[in-house]
Amino acid sequence: MNFDQLKEQWNNEDGDNVHIPNTIEQLKKSKHPIEKIQKSMKAEFPMQIIAVILIGFFPQQLGFPTSQYVIYYTSYVMLVVISSYYLFGFYKFYKQTELYSGNTKNSLWKIYHELKLNMERYQSFGFLLLPHVMITVGLEFYNLLEKKGESLGHISNSFQQGLIISVLLGTVAMVGSIVLWTKYIYGRNAKHLENILNEMDE
């Protein structure tokens, strides 16, 4: 078969049946939510570190007596240890997103699963802050009673019940806020990545 015959056969091919996969375009689109995730993390990381440091000055700001410092700072040390573990994982995930080049589907799946895992860690970190918040509020409440010349043993049953209900409602509100905040910051981008991956599978 000579060159002219090959050329004629090429021209006779139906060009309408040629399918160009759009996988590359979908992978390029995936960079958009990943870039948004990186931007959110870059803004949030230093703010979280600053917040943990500032929490260490609460006893002075709230006027706790020095006798209560040991209670507060025992809880605070635990908070710092937990925060360090979480922030290290947060930083590692951020570095992983920087390495994503958008050229393979497998790497996009890996980023997606790491994002979902990071969202779970983010929520767990928020939930682990609750005990420290409760200790801080408890100490503040105790000090307010002392200033009025009262004590926990002298408060009425109705007041105790109201206090328990307030703590319960406050805890539920904080848990709900943490879940909603996580979905607001990262949930939309996770859903965007999931939709792209589903399109690619189809």
Question: Can you give the residue ranges of every domain in the chain?
Answer: 21-149+156-201
What is the per-residue pLDDT for 69? Answer: 93
Q: What's the burial of 80, exposed, middle or buried (CB within 10 Å: 0-12/13-18/19+)?
A: middle
Task: Give whole-number Cα distances, 160 to 3, 57, 138, 149, 186, in Å.
Answer: 96, 29, 13, 17, 39
Report which of residues 163 and 171 the model is more confident about. Answer: 171
Beta-carbon contacts of 86 under 8 Å, excluding residues fewer than 6 positions away, are 121, 122, 124, 125
Q: Which residue has the higher pLDDT, 88 or 98?
A: 88
Q: How confident is the model at residue 183 (pLDDT cuts 50, 70, 90)?
A: confident
Compute the distance between CA of residue 198 and CA of residue 49 in angstroms, rounded to an integer.
36
- Average pLDDT over the chain, rounded to an integer: 79
User: Of the given ranges (79-93, 99-113, 178-192), which has the lowest mean pLDDT?
Assistant: 99-113
- Please report, rounded to a whole number, the percentage of residues in the chain having pLDDT higher than 70: 79
pLDDT in tens, 120-160: 888 888 888 888 988 998 898 888 888 877 776 677 778 77
**Is the entire prediction scored with pTM above 0.95?**
no
